[in-house]
Amino acid sequence: MQDAEGDWTSAVREIVGPAIPIAASYDLHGNLSQRIIDALDIFSAYRTAPHIDVRETMEAAWAMLLRHLRGGGARPGIAWAPVPLLLPGERSSTEDEPARSLYAALPAFDARPGIWKSDLMIGYVWADEPRATAAAVVTGTDRAAALAAAEEIASAFWAARDAFRFGPVTGPLPEMLDRAAAADTVPVILADSGDNPTGGGVGDRADVLVALIARDWQGALVAGITDAPAVEACFAAGEGATLALTIGASLDPAGVSVRTEVRVLRLDDAGTPSGRQAVVAIGEGITLVLAARRRPYHDIADFTRLGLDPAGARLLVVKSGYLSPELAPLARPNLMALTEGVVNQDIASLPNRHRAPGTLPFQPNPGFRPRAIASARFGR
């Protein structure tokens, strides 16, 4: 199954027929295809990463749909210009250049006559599928203007292809732990980038935990590791109990696990087994959050619910790439470890069997020039 969203949007179009307008909102890290574009009339994508405009993006899709339904006139359509360049989100945050300037330029395109909204899709690099691509996407009522704008946005993105860099200090896990140990400010926040569940990671790897135990780390808070069997064992033992646990690789056997003794500090029962969490201590220096289901710990409320203070840790480890808007202001400093996992940052070494030929960084494409394509419905 290489284009599930294409199957779905095409099926919706077949059900509602050609006369009904369809609007869609997207994460800028999504992948598109001509089949998806051909089924839609209106498109809206995030313009921020980290994503702080989720509601605004959905509202923009609704607003354009209502604008058409209430105002009549020409039906809106979509033009898009695929760009054979795939970047991880960690190298294309809109808080850093060149993405910051590329996205800041989009409102000027929106202001052009006949254009309703312009978007830049970074795409999802870890998906080895034909539709994995970056793209400029423009919604409007003027077909020629939309095509021209899409090509301009795509050209600017392509021209900046060599300028994308990691935002935080980044390096192998041992180097990042050395930096954390030498820091004289707290909390150091370390992102375990290869196992980030919000990026597609499994969330069950114990690589960083193993390294912390080996270093006899003091003052670490690790949030968290997905391991339902470990959580259930903690619930069976009860708060205050000490028990031996195998932690990690509960979902993906190819991951890293560790056998260690823990003391159960706190149990959190959300009402269903899948919502359970356990806070455990490993020795005197490491506090670990275990989760029954795959999930991130990116909001302050994730910690306060468990009686934890992320700002009070010497080292806070989260499974993340760039930090969330709530955690980033706490970091003193923010470090990102290039860890193993299904969303590891060694992009050029990923399997590449199904992506389009000439997609960077997998294959060179020196002669590429953006070419915009209109939706099959645009202007018809």
pLDDT digits (tens, 9 = 90+) for 254-279: 999 999 999 999 999 989 999 999 99
**Averaged over 335-358, what is the pLDDT?**
96
Pairwise pLDDT comparison (268 vs 71), residue with the higher score: 268
Residue 162 has a CB neighbour count (10 Å cut-off) of: 8
Q: In this prediction, what percent of the chain has a pLDDT beyond 90?
A: 97
Q: Does residue 115 contact residue 109 with C-beta atoms inside 8 Å? A: yes
Using alpha carbons only, give the angle 147, 150, 152 rounded to the nearest 5 degrees.
Answer: 110
Average pLDDT of the chain is 97
Residue 259 has a CB neighbour count (10 Å cut-off) of: 9
pLDDT digits (tens, 9 = 90+) for 311-340: 999 999 999 999 999 999 999 999 999 999
- pLDDT at residue number 86: 98
Q: How confident is the model at residue 73 (pLDDT cuts 50, 70, 90)?
A: confident
Q: What is the three-class DSSP state of 291?
A: strand
In the predicted structure, residue 2 carries a pLDDT above the cut 70? yes
Long-range contacts of 261-269 (CB under 8 A, 24+ apart): 262/234, 262/288, 264/234, 264/237, 264/238, 264/239, 264/240, 265/239, 266/239, 266/306, 266/307, 267/234, 267/235, 267/238, 267/239, 268/305, 268/306, 269/235
**What CA–CA distance (Å, rounded) separates 268 from 60?**
38
pLDDT digits (tens, 9 = 90+) for 149-182: 999 999 999 999 999 999 999 999 999 999 999 9
**Averaged over 36-63, what is the pLDDT?**
98
Q: Does residue 308 contact residue 219 with C-beta atoms inside 8 Å? A: no
**Averaged over 237-243, what is the pLDDT?**
98
- pLDDT at residue number 221: 99
- pLDDT at residue number 380: 65
Residue 222 phi, psi dihedral angles, 5° rounding = -110, 120
Q: In this prediction, what percent of the chain has a pLDDT beyond 70?
A: 99
**What CA–CA distance (Å, rounded) separates 37 from 81?**
11
pTM equals 0.94
**What CA–CA distance (Å, rounded) separates 207 from 24?**
38
Q: How confident is the model at residue 347 (pLDDT cuts 50, 70, 90)?
A: very high
pLDDT digits (tens, 9 = 90+) for 74-93: 899 999 999 999 999 999 99
**Averaged over 240-248, what is the pLDDT?**
98
